[in-house]
Amino acid sequence: MQATRILAVRHGETAWNVDGRIQGHLDIALSDVGRAQAHRLGRALAEREPLALIVSSDLARARETARIVADATGAPLRTTTALRERCFGDLQGQRFAEIEASWPEQAERWRRREPDWAPPGAGGESLLQFRERVRQAVQALAAENMGNHIALFTHGGVLDVLYRLATGLGLQDARSWQIGNTAVNRLLWTPDSGLSLVGWADTTHLEDESLDERFS
């Protein structure tokens, strides 16, 4: 049976990642560290991973990461709003401690990962809504690219959903897996089985200093 191979990658680091601020749909740029991570990833993939297509969230932090990798690999790039991070409405731009202080009830419902709780404010998505958006988007991209090797550049929340979909874990199960900036996560999709997990959180490209030497 034919399958679609998927590399799912979180964007490079941003200053807000370091500061612990909720980004959601806010359009935050990469930091210098994030750009360096993206260049390392691009160099690694150019040597090891021929890609038929790169699809990115349209938000700048994912789009710039994907563009750097596309330039390095020569793979075509397109963007979509469907791979955006979960929208956190009025909570975007806040640190969790600030949310606890200003919206203690909302913070507790978020902490409990209530599937039907949506953050207050315009566009706030519940986990159920978010999971369905991600599931539909990735299924459509995988079916459209049957038999190919594609890369998806997206966000931490999206990757959390993909891991749960691939392993059968529920939305409220505690997370025990890492979602690092520019870590490579490998999935397989078939029409019969949907997503399955191949490998997760590969960061060898961030440790391989010879990549800088070979491409300097």
Catalytic residue among 13, 85, 125, 155: 85
**Which 3 state secondary structure label does DSSP give 1?**
coil
Q: Is 207 an annotated catalytic residue?
A: no
Catalytic residue among 11, 25, 155, 205: 11
135 vs 84: CA distance, rounded Å? 12
Q: Is 155 an annotated catalytic residue?
A: no
Q: How many CB atoms lie within 10 A of CB 78?
A: 12
Q: How many CB atoms lie within 10 A of CB 53?
A: 17
For residues 183 and 44, the answer to whether their CB atoms sit within 8 Å is: no
For residues 97 and 53, the answer to whether their CB atoms sit within 8 Å is: no
65 vs 60: CA distance, rounded Å? 8
Q: HSE on the CB side for 157, CA within 13 Å?
A: 24
Q: Which residues are tagged catalytic?
A: 11, 85
